[in-house]
Amino acid sequence: MKGLGWGTVLLILAGLAIMPFFVTNYIVTFAIQIFMWIALAQSWNLISGLTGYVSFGHVAFFGTGAYTAAILISKAGWHWFPASLMGSVTAPLLAFIIGYPCLRLKGPYFAIAMLGLNEVLRALVSYFEDFTGGGNGISLPPIAELQPVYYAMGGVALGVVLVTWRILTSRFGLRLISIREDELAAEAMGINTARLKLYAFLLSAAFPGIAGGFFAWYSSHIEPLGTFPFLTTITMIIMCLFGGKGTVLGPVLGASILSIFQELVWARFLFIHQAIFGALIVAVVLLMPKGILGVLQERYHLPRTI
Amino acid sequence: MSIQITGSMLLQGVVSGILAGGLYAMVALGMALIFGVMRVINIAHGTLLMLGAYSTFWLFSLYGMNPFLSILISFPLLFLVGAILQRLFVYQVVNAPELSSLLLTFGISIFISNMAMVAWTADYRSVEFLTGSFLLGPIALSKPRLVVFGFALTITELAFLFLNLTKIGKAIRATSQQRDLAQVCGINVRRIDLITFGLASGLAGAGGSLLSVMFSVFPEMGQIYVFKSFLVIVLGGAGNYPGAFFGGLILGLAEGLASLFLSAQLSEVIAYILLVLILLVRPTGLFRGRV
């Protein structure tokens, strides 16, 4: 059974690896989007799904990565790949500044601090115009071919999924889950909850940082409203919740299913996009708090670590 | 580009800061009540404020109703909306982990604000009722802000009188201090939850009505007030209702001075830095001990 599962995973990965040579650019672009959403939803899962601390401003790390890469490419002449990787330094740095004071405390402090972060970053980016281009944003040269971005974004998605799997099968993961289930009891058992929450948060900021860099390169233009939209955070949250928070494959499922739905159905109802997501969040929280994968895990007695 | 800051400018900054703070305190009191009684942070608080602002706007532009008089409609209207939300959704997550209540109210909030966008478009609307300012020596007092401050103060005071003198008010405070014990004493905490949510939403609605006189009305206007209200609660200390009042004044003051010395654009950044610093140094709030 176990071998069969791994075989399927390898087969899917091999299929995805050779896919860009056989399909149209439209499909490749769409796949890049799905990879991006997998990376973002899974990153949100790392902090909120595992520890129960809700991050309402995760798009901030995505935006930080995008601006880091765009500035390095346009001002310092870096190659796009290392420039994007630098997002895994700057985004966790920002995460540390917020996480250190807020995650020492229990309760809703962290969630609200993350909610406020959106407005703050947007104001800062507009204020430091010389550096960031203000409301006009930064333009990058148009990209010649999509394949490198496809592999890069796919790599981030795969990376964050593997990291989540590795965490969930380790003592670190068990400790994080114990924080989610009962923080006081976890502390009483000698777990340094403040530090572990911070580690999880730094990890969860690093991947959106990198994905943001790739996004900036592939969309060739970034500006405050397009790079820090609140909708991005909402989308990551609902994808993770819908698929199943606190699992490895839940966010992957959620991101894939909702991206396809979005492309096929909701693209026609853009004006009520947020309302659909809002209703979906309420429905999932009240009716299916464990998400699709959670329900499947219970019904078919699947292992907790998938 | 250093501008000479004169004493009168400083005074002006302080005065307009305090004027803004009165409203912050009133809006935050609603959020503090819900948090105190149910341990739920209501992310939809700002959306309810937005609904209050729109009800004033429509009453004003369609029927020419005095915006301050329209509080008599927006308060009960939002009381009802809040009570319905509580009855349908929020009661299910009162004892659930924090994650559930945060996400639930978040979902409600984005649903309502998107619906407002569909119904009323994203246009910025304004209620042009009171304009101009009084000159008081060297400082100018904007008329709408002064009147709004007066109303905010009165409504906050009425809310405190309600909490302190009436039987229901006392039951609300008792539930917020010790939920289980309150229940043992025969208080119907479910009913208290309902009244608290209604009252808090009413306060948000009245806050929206007052805001509409000073600032533009648009579907996403409320979002920032969720953050600011929470900051006010943290400044005052969670569960400390009079503290929330002073927290509001402090936030207004900090923003007033920040826009004087730095830039009005950065006032939200200042509020944010204030939050992070307070959490770092004094997470129990500035006025510890008094509940």
pLDDT higher than threshold 50 for residue B290: no
Using DSSP's 3-state secondary structure scheme, residue A222 falls into strand
Among the listed ranges A10-14, A183-187, B95-99, B284-288, which one has the minimum average pLDDT value? B284-288
Report the pLDDT averaged over residues A276-296. Answer: 92
Place of tokens 């007695």: A301
Residue of B nearest to A47 (CA): B99
pLDDT higher than threshold 80 for residue A58: yes
Q: Is residue B231 a contact partner of residue B41, using CB atoms and an 8 Å limit?
A: no
Pairing type for strands B139-142 and A138-139 reads unpaired
Q: Is residue A151 a contact partner of residue A32, using CB atoms and an 8 Å limit?
A: no
Place of tokens 């199943």: A244
Chain A: give the shortest CA distance to residue B84, in Å.
15
3-state secondary structure string, chain B? CCCCCCHHHHHHHHHHHHHHHHHHHHHHHHHHHHHHHHCCCCCCHHHHHHHHHHHHHHHHHHHCCCCCCCHHHHHHHHHHHHHHHHHHCHHHHCCCCHHHHHHHHHHHHHHHHHHHHHHHCCCCECCCCCCCEEEECCEEEEHHHHHHHHHHHHHHHHHHHHHHHCHHHHHHHHHHHCHHHHHHCCCCHHHHHHHHHHHHHHHHHHHHHHHHHHCCECCCCCHHHHHHHHHHHHHHCCCCHHHHHHHHHHHHHHHHHHHHHCCHHHHHHHHHHHHHHHHHHCCCCCCCCCC
- Give me the percent of chain A exceeding a pLDDT of 90: 61
Q: Is residue A211 a contact partner of residue A39, using CB atoms and an 8 Å limit?
A: yes
Q: Count Cβ atoms within 10 A of the Cβ of residue B170 and give its class: 0-12 exposed, 13-18 middle, 19 or more buried.
A: middle
Report the pLDDT averaged over residues B229-258. Answer: 83
ipTM: 0.88
Question: Using the 8-state DSSP alphabet, how is residue A245 labeled?
Answer: T
Chain B: give the shortest CA distance to residue A165, in Å.
22
User: pTM (2 decimals)?
Assistant: 0.90
pLDDT higher than threshold 50 for residue A294: yes
Angle at A231 between CA A236 and CA A289, to 5 degrees: 40
Binned at pLDDT 50, 70 and 90, residue B239 comes out as low
Task: Give which of A43, A38, A44 is closest to A56, Cα–Cα.
Answer: A44
Q: Which of B43, B92, B102 to mutate against chain A (most A CBs within 10 Å)?
A: B102
Among the listed ranges A134-138, B27-31, B97-101, which one has the minimum average pLDDT value? A134-138
Q: What is the mean pLDDT of chain A?
A: 89
**C-alpha span between B280 and A259 (Å, rounded):** 39
Residue B213, CA distances (Å) to B95, B146, B251 in order: 38, 11, 20
Torsion-angle region of residue A301: left (phi > 0), alpha (psi -120 to 50) or beta?
left
- Give me the percent of chain B exceeding a pLDDT of 90: 55
Using DSSP's 3-state secondary structure scheme, residue A138 falls into strand
> What per-residue confidence (pLDDT) applies to B12?
81
Point out the residue among A102, A108, A116 whose CB comes nearest to the CB of B41. A108
User: Cα A139 to the chain's mean position, in Å?
Assistant: 24
pLDDT higher than threshold 80 for residue A228: no
pLDDT higher than threshold 50 for residue B291: no
Cβ separation A98–B276 shorter than 8 A: yes
Both tokens assigned to B121? 């478009």
Q: Give the pLDDT confidence of B140-174 residue by residue, as tens digits.
A: 778 888 899 999 999 999 999 999 999 999 999 99
* Ranges of H-type helices in chain A: 2-18, 25-44, 50-51, 59-76, 80-85, 87-103, 109-127, 129-132, 147-168, 171-181, 183-188, 193-219, 224-227, 230-243, 250-264, 273-287, 291-300
**C-alpha span between B220 and B193 (Å, rounded):** 27
Q: Which of B106, B224, B277 to mutate against chain A (most A CBs within 10 Å)?
A: B106
Among the listed ranges A2-11, A214-223, B24-33, which one has the minimum average pLDDT value? A2-11
> What per-residue confidence (pLDDT) applies to B4?
64
Chain A contacts of B259, Cβ < 8 Å? none
pLDDT higher than threshold 80 for residue A256: yes
Cβ separation B279–A101 shorter than 8 A: yes
**C-alpha span between A280 and B252 (Å, rounded):** 36
Name which residue leads in pLDDT, B87 or B8.
B87
Chain B contacts of A98, Cβ < 8 Å? 276
Binned at pLDDT 50, 70 and 90, residue A199 comes out as very high
Report the pLDDT averaged over residues B239-263. Answer: 81
Question: Using the 8-state DSSP alphabet, how is residue A221 labeled?
Answer: E
Binned at pLDDT 50, 70 and 90, residue A37 comes out as very high
Chain B: give the shortest CA distance to residue A271, in Å.
7
Chain B contacts of A237, Cβ < 8 Å? 103, 106
Report the pLDDT averaged over residues B4-22. Answer: 81
